[in-house]
Structure 1
Amino acid sequence: MNAVRNIADRLIGLSAILGSIALLIEVGIILVDVIGRAFGVPLYGSQDYVTMTMVILVFGGMAACDRRGGHIAVDLFQGKMSDRMNRIINILSALLGAVAFLAIAWAVLESSRLSQMLNLSTNLIQLPKAWFQWALSGFALLTALGMLLRAVELTVTGRNIHDDTGAESLA
């Protein structure tokens, strides 16, 4: 189980790095566009670039967000429930999250087939939309697998990865 967790953490870390790179690219694009607008020459296609890098930025960091326990959690009753009940709720929420992200991955993958068939691309710079849909599907699948692994770990070992997360766990 530790080997699987180690591989998953490395993939999640890579995903987060790709999301971070997308953030840097996005900031650079916006900076160049704003400065260009001040001089009357905005960056051509900046909206296309920003929209497509946003896909990588958001979904690239999604698995890391789950790994670190960053998703919204309402714990009003956690202190009033037994450890067993809290564990069951954590398992069910991880499974529900995995199903949701699998549904997202599947729906976007199906949408990419349509994008390919119709040769859909961005408005100005003609980037194929399917490329970014594939990336989104891959990141959503990674998030779903991370959630599924968390559910398995909670079920089999009782270990909650949110209790032992930190920057070193994703390195």
Structure 2
Amino acid sequence: MYAFLARWADRLINLSAVIGSAGLIFEVAVILVDVTGRLFNTPLYGAQDLSEMTMSIVVFGGMAMADKLRAHVAVDIFEEQFPAWLNRSSDVFSALAGAAIFAGIAWTVYQSSQISLMLNLATNVIGLPKAWFQWALCAFSVITSFAMLLRAFEMLARKREQHA
């Protein structure tokens, strides 16, 4: 069962990273067109809206991959001074705390998307519905939370295998 979940988690993580990467390419293209257009006094209409909304996809799309690669910022000044069991415990706790935080982000953003739908909120210039981007952010947060939870269980299972 764990292998099945891990395989699906990897697929979802890779998908969110690809979507985040596509968002980054789109962001660069928008900025390039906007800056070039400003040179000729014709900036890209709605560039600010596109940049702001795409940035949420870029940041949260890559979050699960950053966790998978353990590429988040970590302060390990005292790690060598602590016993191995404390370092493992703090790693498991960090993964569980991260999973809870991203689940909370997903829930809060989902609730916010309901308000956006109710009030018909959209971006200022070109009127992109904010709820769409909130749903994307929510999905990326759920994927990140799921990945962190699996990582915590993997670390716990590895610890049990070492003691068996």
Which amino acid in the other structure matches residue 19 of structure 2? L
Structure-to-structure mapping, 1:26-41, within 5 angstroms: 26-41=27-42
C-alpha deviation, 1:47, in angstroms: 0.4
2:123 alignment partner in structure 1: 122
Distance 2:86 2:3 in 1: 25
2:66 alignment partner in structure 1: 65
1:35-68 deviations in Å (ceiling 9; x for gaps): 1111011110000000111010000000001111
C-alpha deviation, 1:129, in angstroms: 0.1
Distance 2:144 2:159 in 1: 20
1:69-114 deviations in Å (ceiling 9; x for gaps): 1111111121122222111110001111111111111111100000
User: TM-score, normalised to structure 1's length?
Assistant: 0.90
1:134 alignment partner in structure 2: 135
Distance 2:43 2:75 in 1: 44
Which amino acid in the other structure matches residue 80 of structure 1? Q
Which amino acid in the other structure matches residue 128 of structure 2? L
Aligned positions, number: 159
Distance 1:75 1:4 in 2: 30
C-alpha deviation, 1:15, in angstroms: 0.5
1:167 alignment partner in structure 2: none
Alpha carbon RMSD of aligned pairs, Å?
1.2
Distance 1:67 1:131 in 2: 26
2:14 alignment partner in structure 1: 13
Which amino acid in the other structure matches residue 90 of structure 1? D
The yes-or-no answer on 1:86 pairing with 2:87 is yes
Runs of 4+ in 1 over 6 A off after TM superposition: none
Which amino acid in the other structure matches residue 28 of structure 1? A
Q: Percent identity?
A: 53
2:105 alignment partner in structure 1: 104
Which amino acid in the other structure matches residue 34 of structure 1? V
1:97-150 deviations in Å (ceiling 9; x for gaps): 111111111111100000000000001111100000000011011111111111
SS in 1 for 2:159: coil
SS in 2 for 1:71: coil
C-alpha deviation, 1:9, in angstroms: 1.1
Give unmatched runs, 5+ long, in structure 1.
160-171
SS in 2 for 1:2: helix
User: TM-score, normalised to structure 2's length?
Assistant: 0.93
SS in 2 for 1:157: helix
1:46 alignment partner in structure 2: 47
Which amino acid in the other structure matches residue 66 of structure 1? D
1:3-50 deviations in Å (ceiling 9; x for gaps): 322221111011000000000000000000011111011110000000
> Which segment is superposed worse, 3-12 or 129-138?
3-12
